[in-house]
A and B are shown apart, each in its own frame.
Chain A
């Protein structure tokens, strides 16, 4: 896939958000402070997530009802493609990710070295990562290795970058958290160039309370397998 010269490439950060009024303003401000465009997909929030994101300076797309993490990312990615962006970065809304690392995650795409770059907390740092979550992520890494046949050091890391062309070709359809697994599998199936980039994930009381429970993470794996079975 030919890449344009990096300085002419436009990057946008897509943030899927559901009831994140407490964190979204800070997250959006951080993204804009680093010089990137931000689009927040308000996924049917019942609080002031959309208003807070707009106050922070982001473009806000609103799902009238909640459709899930994957659905929100696809909406944001489609919007980015329509607006002519060349690089799309996915970024979590709960403040776990560091906006200063966006350029580093997007760098392999901008340089034309990869089509998809996925952040790895195990190549970088995972601050205050609970041991149960660490165990579960390790299991998810193994799951990805067995099911999708892709060797990664991290799994279900929501910090990633894609070229617009790769996003179009991937055509991910999972609405929920299974999106992360589907994306990796489709990258492998399409023969796209994938790389990992060290990132820092900071677990706070807020982000842990907002995230899915460990049992729900297991359900995501089961759902993904079921989805593979019926299609």
Chain B
């Protein structure tokens, strides 16, 4: 019982912190809802475990209870997000390299032009 109460309190604290950040304009509504969603889901499961059990059975997980379903989904979503972050990071790294290369080649071309102008 204590664990349930604590989990609900933590989830609500995180959701309210996201709400505050949204109100102060630090994050967009879409981002706030995206991050608040999983925590609201956790709070709902904790408030009504039978509801989550029913959803688990509906999804074909006959032996699983609602908490198991949340864990399965959580791991799946975490892996997906990790993969997306890696791709994004890789994309940023490549963009940064292209930018650095562009700068290096532009500087070299400029210095070449000025050297040619001086010798003429």
B37-45, B53-61, B69-77, B102-110 - the one binding chain A:
B102-110
Contact B93 A175 (CB under 8 A): yes
Give the contact-size bracket for chain B: 10 to 19
**A67 to B109 alpha-carbon distance, docked (Å):** 20
**Bound form: Cα–Cα A67–B86 in Å:** 18
- Pick from A55-63, A116-124, A191-199 the stretch touching chain B: A55-63
Q: Count contacts on A: residues with CB < 8 A to the other chain.
A: 20
Whether A64 touches B100, Cβ cut-off 8 Å, given contacts A230-B86, A230-B90, is yes
Across-interface contacts of A63 in B (CB, < 8 A): 100-101, 103-104
Does residue A74 face the partner (Cβ distance < 8 Å to B)?
yes
Min CB gap B89→A, angstroms = 10
Residues from chain B with a CB closer than 8 A to the CB of A62 are 104, 107
Residue among B94, B100, B105 making CB contact with A65, cutoff 8 Å:
B100
Indicate if A79 sits at the interface (CB-CB under 8 A): yes
Given contacts A63-B104, A75-B105, 19 further A-B contacts (CB under 8 A): A59-B108, A61-B105, A61-B107, A61-B108, A62-B104, A63-B101, A64-B100, A65-B100, A67-B97, A67-B101, A71-B97, A74-B101, A75-B100, A78-B105, A79-B108, A175-B93, A175-B94, A230-B87, A230-B90
Which 4 A-B residue pairings sit nearest by Cβ, starting from the closest? A61-B104, A75-B101, A71-B97, A67-B97
Q: Identify the B interface with A (CB < 8 A).
A: 83, 86-87, 90, 93-94, 96-97, 100-101, 103-105, 107-109
15 CB-based A-B contacts, threshold 8 Å:
A61-B104, A63-B100, A64-B103, A65-B96, A67-B101, A71-B100, A71-B101, A75-B100, A75-B104, A75-B105, A78-B101, A78-B105, A82-B105, A227-B90, A230-B83
